[in-house]
Amino acid sequence: MNTFGRLFRITTFGESHGPGIGVVIDGIPAGLPIDLEAVQGELARRRPGQSPYTTPRQEPDALEVLSGLYEGKTTGAPLALWIPNRDAQSEAYEEIKEVFRPSHADFTYFLKYRHTDPRGGGRSSARETAARVAAGAIALQLLQYFYPKLQILSWTSAIGPYETLYIPSSREEIEASPVRCPDKEMSKQMQAYIEQLQSEGDTTGGIITTQVEGMPAGLGEPLYDKLSARLAYAMLSINATKGFEVGEGFRAARLRGSEHNDSFTQTPEGRIRPATNHAGGLLGGISTGEALRFRVAFKPISSLQQPQVTMTRFGKPTVIKIKGRHDPCPIPRAVPVVEAMTAIVLADFLLLSQSGGYIQKRKEAS
């Protein structure tokens, strides 16, 4: 429920308006050097209040290490990280604590638990993703310790009706845009669209594209723990996600086999590889060594600054206008969250790969 992963395993805890958000990471090998400044840098990419296109809530997201680190290296014990909440304003939720906000998890949490924390959505709030980003930054350091050339890039490829096929070559291209769209002209249109919606008290969704370069081959555990399946699991666990596709995704359903198949070829160095990558770096749920590519769709933010018809917990019809501070679009701040969950999945499969695979190769290596 609150734990994700097999060997590289994270357990998050905390609520949006509680004392803070935390994560316990199990399975990190001892002796891994940890760059805490890099972890803090990833948190800064996700934190609220970073631009006019995000919630104005001001959280420094200052990271604290509670256990599992000594003299800059992991000890093999659980690594516990804590991020205090500094700017919660719970009074905005007082008058709606008995009301079901349209399209929010308030309704299902109440049906399941009856006694819930209504402040900022409590446990269902996207505030929880700060813990994921911290864990993902640790996972990336583990991955790059073994594969220094591995790079995870996620970016905004669509906001509302505005979409781009542009593929960035660096993190700098992405971060140059306040909405994290590397296509400069499309970024301007996306920003204007969000500004229009903000003036109308409305919201929008979008799509995040991810590409992982420097991928090792052989990650993935058939049949029920395919890399594609675990990525889908991870991405659809993020708040507001509604769709996941790998490679050509749903477009593949409209292609002929002759158009979609990736023929094999041989490089001058003798390596056999696909000539194209419609599969998105995966065959049979196992990584091919080519670039891993997938997309995640997010619905519009549910907290509108408009009157909405709804019901109270007692079955009384009412009209609600949600107060508080909310993102007009989930996409810009969700980019580092998608990257983090990608790193967590890959780190888990990296550790899993040590316990299975090609035994002859292991004999030769010894």
DSSP 311: E
Check residue 168 and give its pLDDT.
98
User: Average pLDDT, stretch 326-339?
Assistant: 95
3-4 and 9-14 as β-strands: parallel, antiparallel, unpaired? antiparallel
Share of the chain above pLDDT 70, in %: 96
Q: How many CA atoms lie within 13 A of 242 on its CB side?
A: 12
- The candidate with the shortest Cα–Cα distance to 34, out of 121, 178, 131, 141, is 141
DSSP letters spanning 153-186: EEEEEEETTEE-----SSHHHHHTSTT--S-HHH
Alpha carbon distance, N-terminus to C-terminus of the chain: 40
CA nearest neighbour of 64 among 14, 6, 29:
14
For residue 357, the model assigns a pLDDT of 58
CA distances from 205 to 45, 160, 282, 302 (A): 19, 6, 27, 10
Q: Is the pLDDT of residue 165 over 90?
A: yes
How do residues 170-203 score in pLDDT, each as one tens digit? Answer: 999 999 999 999 999 999 999 999 999 999 999 9
CA distance 323 to 326: 9
Q: What is the domain count for the chain?
A: 1
Structure tokens at 4: 């994700």
Q: How far is CA 96 from CA 15, 150, 200, 332, 333, in A?
A: 18, 46, 22, 28, 26
Strongest mean pLDDT among 95-99, 136-140, 299-303: 136-140
Question: CATH number of the domain that 262 lies in?
Answer: 3.60.150.10
Q: What is the DSSP letter of 124?
A: G
Q: What is the pLDDT of residue 362?
A: 44
**Which domain covers residue 242, as residue numbers?**
3-365
- Beta-strand ranges (E) seen in the chain are 3-4, 9-14, 20-26, 64-67, 69-70, 73-74, 79-84, 151-159, 162-163, 206-213, 241-246, 264-266, 272-274, 282-283, 286-287, 292-298, 308-311, 317-320
**What pLDDT, on the 0 to 100 scale, is given for residue 356?**
63
Rounded distance between C-alpha atoms, residue 218 and residue 289, angstroms: 8
pLDDT beyond 70 at 244: yes
Mean pLDDT of the chain: 93
Is the predicted pLDDT of residue 120 greater than 80, yes or no? no
Phi (first) and psi of residue 38, to 5 degrees:
-65, -40
Percent of the chain surpassing pLDDT 90: 81
Find the mean pLDDT for residues 38-61: 89
